[in-house]
Structure formats: C-alpha cells, structure tokens
Amino acid sequence: MSYRTAFVTGASSGIGRELARRLARHGTWVGIAARRSDELERLEREIAQAGGRARIYPLDVADVEATQRTMSRADTEMNGVELVIANAGVSNHRWAGVLTYGDCADIIAVNVQGAVATLTALLPTMVERKRGHLVGISSLAQYRGLPSGAAYSASKAFLS
C-alpha cells in the first residue's frame, strides 16, 4: 500500500530517520518529528536532495498536549495524515535491583504516554475519513525483559 502522507516520531536518528527516508523515496510526503531540530533540518535537506518532501515538527512526545496539538496541526497542514508511526523511544541501563522511579519516569513518559498520545491523536479523524494506519514501533525486549532494561522492556510490552 502506498501513502500520500505520513508522520514519523523519533525521526532524528535510527529507525525513524530511515523510515522517513524510505517513505519519502517512495513518494510519501513525510512529517518528521523529534526533539533535535538540527537533525530534523539535516534530514529534511537529505530528503529534498533525493527528490522527496518532508515537513519538520520539533516535538518532545513526552509532552502529551504538545503531541496532540502537533499531530492535529500536521493533519491540517498535510491535508490529512494517512500513516502515523510512533517511533520515538528512550532507554537507560539500570539493573532492576537498584531501579528507582526516577530511572523509569522518562521511559514511561516517552515510550508509553508519548506513544499513546501519538497513536490516538488522529484516530477519530482517520476513522471518519475511513483511511489511515497506525504503527507503534516496539521491540523484541517486550517478550523477555532485559537484565538492565526493566522499564524499557515493560514500556515496549505495554505498546505491543
């Protein structure tokens, strides 16, 4: 299936960056979101040089209200987002025996709350339009907790 428009969080590096590039290469107009504006600008230039289209949305998905506003704005500016990819994610390495709430807070804010805010922001309009797909990037860590990644593994199990 081809998409006219897509919105990718965590697009400043890794999987998100490559997904945005590949979508653009196949003719999709891509909304790219992440905290690092400089990396988004670099990606936007790469996509344009390759003949694609991208629109930058600086965003920290841990801010749920900002995420919902940004998604709504992107939907309007891009004349309907057809594919949403919740890819933004963070991790840390803490042995579960010394884990504190502070060790988990950012992971829960980004990987759980941010992902849910991203995936639900346009759901009603997609249902109304009878078009659209939602993708949440998870991890094999969801199936078996990592020794130093309890919060990360739990957040990916939640998303799945």
Catalytic residues, by residue number, are: 152
Q: Which residues of 127-151 are buried (b: 16+ CB within 10 A; e: fewer)?
A: eeeeebeeebbbbebbeebbeebbb
Estimate the crossing angle of helix 14-25 against helix 37-49, to 10 degrees.
Answer: 30
Contact in structure between 77 and 67 (CB atoms under 8 Å): no
Amino acid found at 153 = S
Q: How far is CA 93 from CA 76, 96, 136, in A?
A: 39, 9, 22
H/E element, 134: strand 133-136
Would you report the helix, strand and coil content of the chain in percent, each value rounded to 5?
A: 50, 15, 30
